Amino acid sequence: MKKTFGIIVAVIIIILIIVFSGQKGSDDKGSIKIGFTGPFTGEMASFGENAKAAVQIAVEEVNAEGGINGRPLEVIYEDDACNGAKGVSAAQKLINVDKVSAAVSGLCSMVVLSSATLFEKAHIVNIAYSATSPAISNSGDYIFRNIPSDNFQAKKAADYIYNTLGKKKLAIVYVNNDWGTGLKAALTDSFKSLGGTVVVDEVYEPTSKDLRSQFSKVKESDAEALYFAGFPDGSIVGIKQIRDLKINLPIVGADAWDSPKLWKDLNGAGDGSVFFAAKTSSTDDFKAKMKQKVGSDEIMYPSNYAYDDIRYIAEVMKKVGTDGEKIKDELYKTTFHGKVSQPVLKFDKNGDPEDAVYALKKVVGSEMTEVK
């Protein structure tokens, strides 16, 4: 009896091994899943949708080239609304339900910072395509970004205000989120290191519809220039109120101002404002594909970075497969060339770009033009 029972158990084990071995082989030949999160709702939705189109182009190209060693690439899209809590929910789904092999997640810094421990614990690489908070540099070994830290942007802005404009007294108004507070801190340090003084330091909540109190303090001060770090909705409100209060100071903004919709909605009220945004190296082919995809010439700079992140991951997976630790290690080792965000990218020990190039853009009417 015992012998018979042992034979039955052995047969069951053999059957299970065959079944699960067959399933694994099937999975290995199926699609490779990558997660993508972005703001498809809310005030940053235009950025998110534009970046999604760029990701779709990258996936189409990778698959047309034969995929990842014969396996097609599949992207799971999730809306994070540039909200930390929603970013966590999206990351949990991608990791636990969709079983992604890697992620491109984080147009907004709060999304990357809130979900970093989840990706880190799961040993899944996440490359952020527009999140610039300096805090991200220390958020984990599996957390990368090909967009430069705001430490670079802040130095550029400080140098421009202090040396190019010749202004020594600065007012700063910024949105109360990870992006705004990180940028404010970096700019303050950079401006003071040059010998300047920050005479006004005012914060506002992301949902605020009235910034008159903050800008009244700017008007009453002896500030010689104004740095305004706001997302599009707050910036529309703020710039209109700056004009209403007749504040006649040079206005310098940050990369969230790289939004055609922002300046169209302001209808000339932002004329003369300038801002810094990470520079891109779009190819004619990429521009043509984006135009076909979105129906216009509109390419927002995070889209270039999101497109490249898919290409980076695909390039690495072709070498090392889908193991998270191997992907991470290869990303640190590899120097990438010939992409559309920047010609050359090498990640440093924190998963940040080793170098950064920025464009200074000026608002003329409702259009943005690069200042050469």
Distances (CA, A) of 196 to 123, 166, 184, 185, 241: 44, 10, 14, 14, 26
Give the class (CATH, top level) of 28-148+281-355. alpha beta
pLDDT at 20 over 90: no
Domain ranges of the chain: 28-148+281-355, 151-279+359-371
pTM of the model: 0.85
Are 236 and 265 contacting, i.e. CB atoms less than 8 angstroms apart? yes
pLDDT at 19 over 50: no
Q: Give the per-residue pLDDT at 353.
A: 96
Give the class (CATH, top level) of 151-279+359-371. alpha beta
Same fold? 28-148+281-355, 151-279+359-371 = yes
Q: At what angle do helices 301-320 and 45-64 cross, to 10 degrees?
A: 30
Q: Give the per-residue pLDDT at 28.
A: 60
pLDDT tens by residue, 319-370 = 999 999 999 999 999 999 989 998 899 999 999 999 888 999 999 988 999 9
Question: Which of 123, 26, 129, 120 shows the shortest CA–CA distance to 75?
Answer: 129
Three-state SS string over the chain comes to CHHHHHHHHHHHHHHHHHHHHHHHHHHHHCCEEEEEEECCCCCCHHHHHHHHHHHHHHHHHHHHCCCECCECEEEEEEECCCCHHHHHHHHHHHHHHCCCCEEEECCCHHHHHHHHHHHHHHCCCEEECCCCCHHHHHCCCCEEECCCCHHHHHHHHHHHHHHHCCCCEEEEEEECCHHHHHHHHHHHHHHHHHCCEEEEEEEECCCCCCCHHHHHHHHHCCCCEEEEECCHHHHHHHHHHHHHCCCCCCEEECHHHCCHHHHHHHCCCCCCCEEEEECCCCCHHHHHHHHHHHCCCCCCHHHHHHHHHHHHHHHHHHHHCCCHHHHHHHHHHCEEECCCCCCEEEECCCCCECCCCEEEEEEECCEEEEEC
Q: Give the per-residue pLDDT at 24.
A: 32
pLDDT tens by residue, 134-184 = 999 999 999 999 999 999 999 999 999 999 999 999 999 999 999 999 999
Q: Give the per-residue pLDDT at 21.
A: 37
- Mean local confidence (pLDDT), 24-28: 38
Q: Give the per-residue pLDDT at 5.
A: 44
